[in-house]
Amino acid sequence: MSFTPLRSKSRNLYAWFATRPDLFTAERSPRKTTGWAIVAGIMAVVALLVYLNPTGTVELLGGRVRGGLAIAGAFALPPIIIVVSVVMIFLGARRWRVKGGGVLLNPVIHGFSARFPVDRAIAALREGSADSQGVIAALTAMQKDAGDERLLTIWSSDADRAMYIGVLRVDGNVLWIDSEPITVDPDRYFDAKKHDLAAALGKTSLDGV
For the chain, the average pLDDT equals: 89
Distances (CA, A) of 168 to 54, 179, 206: 49, 9, 28
Angle at 140 (CA atoms; ends 134, 141), nearest 5 degrees: 95
Q: What is the pLDDT of residues 23-76, one digit of tens each?
A: 999 998 788 888 878 988 998 888 888 888 877 777 776 665 555 666 677 777
What pLDDT score does 67 carry?
57
Give the pLDDT confidence of 156-191 residue by residue, as tens digits. 999 999 999 999 999 999 999 999 999 999 999 999
End-to-end CA gap in the chain: 41
Q: Identify the pLDDT of residue 15.
A: 94
pLDDT, position 24: 97
105: enclosing H helix or E strand: strand 105-112
Q: Which amino acid is at 30?
A: P
- Per-residue pLDDT, averaged over 127-139, amounts to 96
Percent of the residues in the chain that have a pLDDT greater than 70, as a whole number:
93
Per-residue pLDDT at 137: 97
At 66 the pLDDT is: 54
Q: Give the orientation angle of helix 132-144 with respect to helix 118-127, to 10 degrees.
A: 150
Distances (CA, A) of 74 to 11, 54, 78: 33, 10, 7
pTM metric for this prediction: 0.78
Which residue has better confidence, 76 or 97? 97
Q: Which position has the higher pLDDT, 81 or 97?
A: 97
